[in-house]
Amino acid sequence: MLGQLPERAPDKILNIMRLFAEDTRPGKIDLGVGVFRDAAGRTPVMAVVKTAEARLLERQQTKGYIALAGDPEFHAAMRGLVLGAAVAADRVAALATPGGTGAVRQCFEAARLANPDVRVLLPEPSWPNHASILDTMGIAWASYRYYDAATGGLDRAGMLEDLARTGVGDLVLLHGCCHNPTGADPQPADWAEIAMVLGQTGAVPMVDMAYQGFGDGLEADAAGPRLLAETLPEMLLAVSGSKNFGLYRERVGMALAVCATPAEATRAQALLAWLNRQAYAFPPDHGARLVTDILTDPDLRTSWTTELSAMRELMNGNRRALAQALQAESGSDRFGFIAGQRGMFSLIGADPAQVAAMRDEDALYMIGDGRINLAGLTPETIPRAARIIARHLR
Ligand code: HCI
């Protein structure tokens, strides 16, 4: 039987991670997988996480099960972080999941149970795993225009035109902030237009929120999703704690379902818990507990926001420095958009052959679509990375 297993190509992003690890050339630069790195090129455990872990080690007396949907305290803490006061708590169902990807999967599962004929609209481009999970589940999806490669910004008119063609039964996936892979986000006025259009068509938004705090700040980054929650009757959210808490391998995630009424939220809550039971029963707890402790203890929370701000400033500083270095190397403003975008990623406009050449000839690693991870740069590597990019993209 197992000899009949079909072949599957490795994940493109994780494949770059492997190629980089195998490269023995000194001076290699990794702008591949979306993992934060500090100015020394490390992905450290956040100091506040170390503190929370030490306290947990002392305090925790049992590893007994909590609940299929995860700890209600974790739900409340994450709901507050993402949605603030945008919607009454009794209209929100919550599910702890293994990572943001687990939340994406459970949101799609719930959407399909609500509507077996659901169609998902993805921004073009989007994180590749959105489409690949939908394909695996056999859920129909289509793209909506999103990115304007000529400006490095939003194709605002195209996006709104395509979203206006959605309807009841459609699920529209939006990146809450720090769009992956483009770094191009809707501005507040754009979010208002998105909310208006979806209000008219009756399509339900699903927000993938993997980088809150990496763009302009915890509150600013959540403004778009909160506006949707205030304006529209329903919404799904897939939240990740991997990046903003640096808890990648602990798999901290949450699916949130904003429902039209408290009664519908109660039913959604039971359904979400059932989805966990069918997949893996109880969600991982260790990382979720650390996040809960950090968000609910005022001192830990202050330490966290301070640390997170420094991470954000490092990435935004790298954006400005790279844009400046590219301007000097290329003698043009064509890479200026990098400075104005937000989050970990930008598309530098390289085709797969140019990406391969930069990797093979110069040990500069990025994703095949020309996506770079800004956090992969350091003050030492920026000048060389800029020289390589400018030379290959002449
Ligand atoms: C990313 O690099 O886009 C985020 C990290 C990631 C990549 C592939 C699978 C899961 C997570």
Share the mean pLDDT of the chain: 97
Q: Is the shortest distance between the CB of 33 and ligand 1 below 6 Å?
A: yes
Residues 121 and 206 in one domain: yes
Residue where a domain terminates, one of 266, 296, 326: 296
* Residues labelled catalytic: 127, 208, 210, 243
**Residue 137 — pLDDT band, cuts 50, 70, 90?**
very high
- 191, amino acid identity: W
Q: Is the shortest distance between the CB of 205 and ligand 1 below 6 Å?
A: no
pLDDT one-digit tens code per residue, 237-271: 999 999 999 999 999 999 999 999 999 999 999 99
DSSP string, 50-73: HHHHHHHHHH--------TT--HH
Neighbours of 51 (CB within 10 A): 18
**CATH code at position 285:** 3.40.640.10
Residues 288 and 174 in one domain: yes
Work out how many domains the chain is built from and give that number.
2
Residues 114 and 72 in one domain: yes
pLDDT at 362: 98
Contact 213, 312 (CB under 8 A): yes
Domain that holds residue 86: 65-296
Contact 69, 95 (CB under 8 A): yes
Q: Is the shortest distance between the CB of 14 and ligand 1 below 6 Å?
A: yes
Contact 198, 165 (CB under 8 A): no
**Residue 389 — pLDDT band, cuts 50, 70, 90?**
very high
Q: Is the shortest distance between the CB of 297 and ligand 1 below 6 Å?
A: no
| Tokens encoding 183 | 């770094």
Residue 356 covered by a domain: yes
Q: What's the CA gap between 344 and 36, in Å, rounded?
A: 8
Exposure on the CB side of residue 145, measured as CA atoms within 13 A: 14
Pocket test for ligand 1, best of 17, 105, 129 (most atoms within 8 A of CB): 129
Residues 126 and 262 in one domain: yes
pLDDT at 322: 98
Average pLDDT over residues 135-162: 98
The pTM score is 0.97
Residue where a domain terminates, one of 271, 296, 321: 296
Residues 198 and 332 in one domain: no
pLDDT at 182: 98
How far does the centroid of ligand 1 lie from the alpha carbon of residue 251, in Å? 12
Q: Strands 170-175 and 204-209, how do they pair?
A: parallel
